[in-house]
Amino acid sequence: MWWMQPTTADDARAHGLAADDYRKILEVLGRAPNGVELGILSVMWSEHCCYKSSKFHLRRLPTRGACVIEGPGENAGVIDIGEGLAAVFKIESHNHPSFIEPFQGAATGVGGIMRDIFTMGARPIANLNSLHFGATDHPRTAFLLEGVVAGIGNYGNCMGVPTVGGEIEFHPCYNGNILVNAFTLGLVDRTKIFRAKASGVGNPVIYLGSKTGRDGIHGATMASAAFDEGSEDRRPTVQVGDPFTEKLLLEACMELMATDAVVAIQDMGAAGLTCSTFEMAAKGACGMRVHLNAVPTRESGMNPYEMMLSESQERMLLVARKGTEDRVRVIAEKWELDMAIVGEIVTGDRVEVYFNQRKVADLPVALVVDGTPELQRPQTPAPSPPRCRARVDGRDLQQDFFKLLGDPTIGDASWVWQQYDHTVQTNTVFGPGGDAALIRIQGTDRALAVSVDSNSSWSQLDPFLGAQLTVAESGRNLVCTGATPLALTNCLNFGNPEHPIVMWQLSQTIDGMAAACDVFKTPVISGNVSLYNETLGTDIYPTPTIAMVGLLNRLNDRVPSSFQNDGDRIWLLGPEANSLAASHYARCCLGDDGGPCPSIDLQLEYRLWQLMIQAAQEKLFASAHDVSRGGLVVAIAESCVTGRRLVGFQSGFHLDGKTDVASTLFGEGASRIVVSVSGEKELRLKALLSAYQLPGRYLGVAHGERLTIGPVDLTLQEVQAARRGSVQRVVAHNRP
């Protein structure tokens, strides 16, 4: 029974604990931890679980606001959306598991984030995702892309939760470390929110869900280390998902929560039974006794170390009111789930773990949860990025436009989202392919808008500005639908925190995000930090992903993203682009990744949001579409061809000079939206631009079956053909 033997400094090192960490453990315990205790401490003190490199910086983010009910610290964040309802949402990463085993890694990422939502008492109503893959011609990209998309679709579809939007990017910086970030939104009665705060001495601790196996052991530790040549040998640390069991678990939890049986509840996610027992005890300032012989297992001979560290999926731990055990059992049997009383709440401040009538772990909660390391790692600013030297002299800009439309980061991603059921539950108003998803709040005339955004190129050039631009774009996508942005969740994907440049990037990102959120009044209510996204010494680009939620008070005020009517006047709201620096055009067509990163006037951006919200309430615009990757001409093209009917565009302004033409068409920057407005409402648009002190420019008219602007003159069928199948071609690229 090696797991009962005292451990050594070498054992601690093998578990990923630093020498100082082990010395602290010895000092607090007054003895060497045994194997089970060392396993518990190693996962709870891992980067993935305790955020030891980032929590010092995360405190600078604004987390409070008028609508915030629950901020960071619980399973998910909660905001008040009025009429007695609350929205519950969070985004999390499953990057390392998805690279090792793409189908199960992505699937269990979706399953895990949904459990975080319904653990709070909320029924999941929408999923989104942010996916980042390596170069399109990299030998593993097609395999990873197919597996990840299939895993996401399989889990969400089987659960009956629509996947309503997302984003996808291809870049060589992800060749050795892809990113799979999963977001879920749920709804709950604001008086019936559940938390993970254990209480009530004598109350039973109940295990509910699937049996425990050996899959996922040390998954949290694996997610807290860089990749090397042996990374694919870590497949046993990737969990295996069963969405049909999770569907049963969801319904059982909803039924249990409608009774008075549940005192506290938490899913067994990272670190499994260890995390749920210790964190629930910590939040309730109580002790807990755990009996491992009662834990349902699906493999014979499992020892306490394996049971405590397993990350088998579809499992919940709840504290029930004493005397309601039979009620819980009846509901578990109805939904064909394993249920067992595995412990009880006790006085004191320790978690004691028993196996075969023997105490195998006895640890103070404060050491395991609150005593985790907090590091202020050294920072070194990144060298000044190269400047963009892109030249367009002699180039065929129409052919460049064709290439841009066919780029899989910009073009048609329908191959991805057609594998997702985005209409199940029948509340999807705007699904994949637009600026933001719009989900009807059943039984009301209101809707929630949600978007997910990132731009690693900007963050690599300037992490402070890149974070601000990403927050701004996410909110801009919401206001394009007419919704008012309320709050956000983030997934901060970075390289190895032991590299001082990476820590500088993380710190700068948090400061930029905090500054933007303060101006936009969008607090950060939940999130995730994913570090050690590094392979063989190469870090990914800093990739902060923002998912923002907004409220549309009247569904009839919604604004689509595509042109609707022949004859509508097309305007650009916001400043002009005057540079190709940091644009997707420069990277895709000219091979130039140089900067500088675009600047942003946060106050101007916020005024643009207010104009869009007021315009929606006045039903001023027939359409609105954010100008983002690809610049103005791509935004116009998407507005022409992504609606239910094709509507062309005829330019009404003059372009001078080759460089100015390219910058106008393809340049990127903040605070820009293409809108369509009927001729009789154009005066009102001008008045609003004046009132909000915003620049605006007439672009042309929605008309006919062609897209004509400067050197670009194409039929809409040619535009569609250029976009069609751009992501699917990545998959076909590496097939025989």
* Angle, CA 668 vertex, CA 664 and CA 673 arms, to 5°: 85
Query: What whole-number distance in Å separates Cα of residue 58 and Cα of residue 61?
Result: 6
Contact, 709 vs 652, CB < 8 A? no
Can you tell me whether residue 498 is helix, strand or coil? coil
In the sheet where 204-209 sits, what is the strand order?
Answer: 262-267, 315-320, 204-209, 338-346, 287-291, 350-355, 358-364
DSSP codes of every residue in 89-138? EEEEE-HHHHHHSHHHHHHHHHHHHHHHHHTTTPEEEEEEEEEEE--TTS
- Residue 206 backbone phi and psi in degrees, to 5: -120, 135
CB atoms within 10 A of CB 336: 9
> Could you give the C-alpha distances from 198 to 277, 321, 468, in angstroms and in order?
9, 11, 38
Can you tell me whether residue 632 is helix, strand or coil? helix
Tokens of 528: 């995730």
Can you tell me whether residue 503 is helix, strand or coil? helix
| Tokens 């579409």 -> residue | 625
| 383: Cβ contacts below 8 Å, ≥ 6 apart | none
DSSP codes of every residue in 413-466? -HHHHTTS--STTS-EEE-TTSSSEEEE-TTSS-EEEEEEE--HHHHHH-HHHH
Q: Which residue among the candidates 48, 96, 138, 625 is catalytic per the annotation?
A: 48
| 248: Cβ contacts below 8 Å, ≥ 6 apart | 335, 336, 337
Q: Alpha-carbon dihedral of residues 624, 629, 631, 633, nearest 10 degrees?
A: -70
| 59: Cβ contacts below 8 Å, ≥ 6 apart | none
How long, in residues, is the chain? 736
> Could you give the C-alpha distances from 548 to 72, 492, 670, 683, in angstroms and in order?
15, 14, 17, 32
DSSP annotation of 368: I
Active site residue 48: yes
Query: What whole-number distance in Å separates Cα of residue 14 and Cα of residue 32?
Result: 15
Q: Which residues pair with 130 in a beta bridge?
A: 167, 181
Active site residue 94: yes
Q: What is the separation of C-alpha 510 from the centre of its chain, rounded to a whole number of angstroms? A: 16
Query: What whole-number distance in Å separates Cα of residue 261 and Cα of residue 557?
Result: 42
Query: What whole-number distance in Å separates Cα of residue 306 and Cα of residue 43?
Result: 12
Query: What whole-number distance in Å separates Cα of residue 454 and Cα of residue 491?
Result: 10
| 487: Cβ contacts below 8 Å, ≥ 6 apart | 65, 67, 68, 77, 79, 522, 523, 524, 525, 548, 549
Can you tell me whether residue 553 is helix, strand or coil? coil
DSSP codes of every residue in 234-283? GGGGS----HHHHHHHHHHHHHHHTTT-EEEEEE--TTHHHHHHHHHHHH
Can you tell me whether residue 520 is helix, strand or coil? helix
Burial class (CB in 10 A: 0-12, 13-18, 19+), 476: buried
- Residue 39 backbone phi and psi in degrees, to 5: -60, -45
Q: Which residue among the candidates 15, 57, 94, 171 is catalytic per the annotation?
A: 94
* Angle, CA 728 vertex, CA 722 and CA 731 arms, to 5°: 135
Q: What is the separation of C-alpha 269 from the centre of its chain, rounded to a whole number of angstroms? A: 16
Query: What whole-number distance in Å separates Cα of residue 405 and Cα of residue 716?
Result: 12
Positions marked active-site: 48, 94
